[in-house]
Amino acid sequence: MGKVLRVLSTLALKGAVERLAGQYQATTGVTLDADFAPTVGLMKRLSEGEMADVLILTREGVDELVAKGSIVAASKVDLARSYVGLAVKAGHAHPDIATEAAFRATLLAARSVAYSKIGASGLYFAELIQRLGIAAEINARATITAGFTAEQLITGAADLAVQQLSELKQVAGVELVGPIPLGCRRLRCSRPGAWRRRQTWRRPMRC
């Protein structure tokens, strides 16, 4: 049986990892066994005993595991950067989100906004709408999901989807409106790390 590299990755890197998997296997002879979920969900699985050779999480997630001694500190590196943005179903009008005031008005005008409460972008969005003073109005008709929020645009459950731009791009049939306004933005950084309890062998995957 060939060598297998077990990877647990945040949803933001799903497309990149899947595109590189074939190339990596052809070059190294190692098969990637990758699973994707929001960082919060992966952190829970790791705390319950699940293991992997490589973890790709948010910077905060990796730093927490390094502090606990679960990840080899020298293995962590910033791998990708992504902003939180909005998407609509393909063919629908793109709302104005150029300014904080326009963004706020767009959210309030939506029939439903889809976001995740267990993903890094969703947790940030929950804080953001609280700061904007519209949390009660948005959450009263929000569509909460644990996966790709843009899927809720396809089903018609929501008019707007909020998530990292790289995650919104994973869903066919939607269009990116763009990143949220500069004054509201927070840069999300994804980092890989080697799981301390599984170091029998490792080969680098280059992006």
The pLDDT score that the predictor gives to residue 60 is: 83
Tens-digit pLDDT profile for residues 25-37: 999 999 999 999 8
Rounded-to-integer distance, Cα 109 and Cα 94, Å: 13
Query: Beta-carbon neighbour count of residue 189 at 10 Å?
Result: 15
pLDDT of residue 188: 47
Architecture of domain 4-81+189-194: 3-Layer(aba) Sandwich (3.40)
Q: What is residue 192's DSSP assignment? A: E
Q: What mean pLDDT do residues 151-172 have?
A: 95
Among 121, 165, 199, which residue's Cα sits nearest to residue 16? Answer: 165
Average pLDDT over residues 140-153: 94
Q: Is the pLDDT of residue 142 over 90?
A: yes
Architecture of domain 84-184: 3-Layer(aba) Sandwich (3.40)
Quote the CA–CA distance of 180 and 104 in Å, as a whole number: 10
pLDDT by residue (tens digit) across 67-123? 888 888 888 888 777 789 999 999 999 999 999 999 999 999 999 999 998 877 888
Q: Report the run of H or E that residue 155 belongs to, with start and end.
A: helix 151-155
Closest CA to 161 of 174, 183, 12: 174
Domain with CATH 3.40.190.10 in the chain: 4-81+189-194, 84-184
pLDDT band at 199 (very low <50, low <70, confident <90, very high): very low
Does the pLDDT at position 17 exceed 60? yes
Interatomic CA distance for residues 132 and 62, integer angstroms: 29
